[in-house]
A and B are shown apart, each in its own frame.
Chain A
């Protein structure tokens, strides 16, 4: 959005502690009144950095997330499934773009963010470091991973930062078909042959726990939760969202006739919640630290695309430079409003 303009204007630096404190107070008051913060508004540096970190991580997840599903585009078992999967993977690329675009309003360039990703210095959702081994994994991702993502994202439509909230509105609107197509795919498999049902169960076994981990560490161990909630760049805690996900997803698994791979899972009648067994956080930490099944492959694929595309990006920039003065060829032209 207005990156360059923002850079030149430059957010005024705080002068003196008293003034700074007053500014912070006014800022927090705006957030408490549910006012949206917009790109050129004054904001605390910590707020800006926290947002950049969160939005970038989200954007990277969308882009890396294209890979595990992209893995099955050429092998989709019907032409209908093929177009659905292409459209879905394409949406994820689009969501990455909306989010990078939102991050850029905070004064960081997309190139810099991508640089961080490729250098291995940026985080993205650890779920995409798991492999898609069978066609059923495409169903499981749509149903579980997109289901978990939607649960995370819907509250973010009300986040305090305007461009991020608007990007999330657009993303959530588009995501709703992703989860449904995944569930429909699973439904077709469980109604099919024995081999297809096995495929579906094994996919649920593989994706259940990583999906629960998508909500992040439990509240007791989450570093950023309290401040993020106060700033309304996060609206619910990790554990609250995880519980909500379990509550809606377990009955969906039951409808499919599949078994959730958690022997301790039970219904807590007084609390009206499903209670899941303990999560193996050591696995989560390992995947996060780069030792998941596909961390290396995912980053390598992104790096390769970036390197192999360099001459193309350079050529387009060089062509534009040569023809800078010329009017664009047939492109849309219009005057007035």
Chain B
């Protein structure tokens, strides 16, 4: 008989207007318990107004070995940034 609980990742919205942010993990047998454990572990000091929990095994992560292939190609696309375009000082509101 198993006594091992599942691992859940915990995401907290610290106040309304902000996104949920990963803060850590908890063990729990079920989703309801995971919310309770996340609340008692990560919001004892008013750190949150909303909690998400996700089974850790459900998270699909990019492979660090592929980091170059995934992210390097964005490096030279400097024309996506406003500073790429030279505009005379006198022109306002751009």
Q: Which residues of A contact B (CB under 8 A)?
A: 1-5, 9, 12, 38, 40-42, 87, 90-91, 94, 97-98, 101-102, 104, 109-111, 166-167, 170, 174, 310, 313-314, 316-320, 323, 328-332, 334, 337
Contact = CB atoms under 8 A, between A and B. Distances in A.
A176 B91 CA distance: 52
B70 to A, nearest CB: 13
Interface of B is mostly: mixed
B63 A167 contact: no
B3 A5 contact: no
Contacts of A328: 30-32
Interface string B20-36: 10011111011111010
Given A3-B56, A87-B44, A166-B24, 20 more contacts: A2-B56, A3-B7, A4-B57, A9-B63, A40-B61, A40-B64, A42-B64, A104-B7, A109-B4, A170-B24, A316-B29, A317-B1, A317-B29, A319-B30, A320-B29, A328-B30, A328-B32, A331-B32, A332-B35, A332-B50
Contact of B44 (A4, A94, A317): A94
Interface of B: 1-7, 9, 19-20, 23-27, 29-33, 35, 41, 44-45, 50-52, 56-57, 59-61, 63-65
Contacts of A323: 30
Contact of B9 (A1, A90, A102, A109): A1
Nearest to A167: B24
A110 B27 contact: yes
B3 A38 contact: no
Contact of A313 (B3, B41, B64): B3
Contacts of A1: 7, 9, 24-25, 56
17 contacts: A1-B24, A1-B25, A5-B59, A12-B65, A40-B61, A40-B64, A41-B64, A91-B44, A101-B24, A314-B3, A317-B4, A320-B30, A328-B31, A328-B32, A331-B31, A332-B35, A332-B52
B50 A334 contact: yes
B19 A104 contact: no
Contacts of A316: 5, 29-30, 33
- Identify the 3 closest CB pairs spanning chains A and B, nearest first: A316-B29, A313-B3, A328-B31
